[in-house]
Amino acid sequence: MTIHIGAAPGQIAETVLMPGDPYRARWAAQTFLDDAILVNEVRGMLGYTGTWKGNRVTIQGSGMGMPSLSIYANELIRDFGAQTLIRIGSCGGMQAEVNLRDVVLALTASSLSTPSSGIFRDLNFAPAANYNLLRAAAIAATDRGVKTHVGGIYSTDVFYDERPDLTEQMTRHGILAVEMETAELYTLAARHRRRALAVLTVSDHLQTGEELPSEERERSFGDMVEIALEAAFA
- Find all residues with CB under 8 Å of 142, minimum gap 6, and list them: 148
Q: Whole-angstrom Cα distance, residue 158 to residue 49?
A: 31
Q: Residue 209 annotated as binding?
A: no
> Is 111 among the annotated ligand-binding positions?
no
Nearest Cα neighbor of 194 from 74, 89, 114 is 74
180 assigned binding-site residue: yes
- Whether residue 101 is annotated as binding a ligand: the answer is no
Find the helix or strand (DSSP H, E) in which 85 lies: strand 84-93
Is residue 224 annotated as involved in ligand binding?
no
Q: What is the DSSP letter of 128?
A: B
Residue 62 assigned to a binding site: no
Q: At what angle do helices 214-232 and 131-144 cross, to 10 degrees?
A: 130
Q: Is 194 marked within a binding site?
A: no
Catalytic residue of the set 79, 157, 204, 223? 204
CA pseudo-torsion sign 118, 119, 120, 125 = negative
Quote the CA–CA distance of 115 and 157 in Å, as a whole number.
Answer: 10
Question: Does 20 appear as a known binding residue?
Answer: yes
204 flagged as catalytic: yes
4 has binding-site annotation = yes
Q: Is 214 annotated as a binding residue?
A: no
Distance (Å, whole) CA 175 – CA 27? 30
Any known ligand binding at 172?
no
For the CA atoms of the chain, what is the radius of gyration? 16
Annotated binding site for a purine D-ribonucleoside: 4, 179-181, 203-204
> Which residues does the annotation mark as catalytic?
204
Annotated binding site for phosphate: 20, 24, 43, 87-90
Annotated binding site: 4, 20, 24, 43, 87-90, 179-181, 203-204
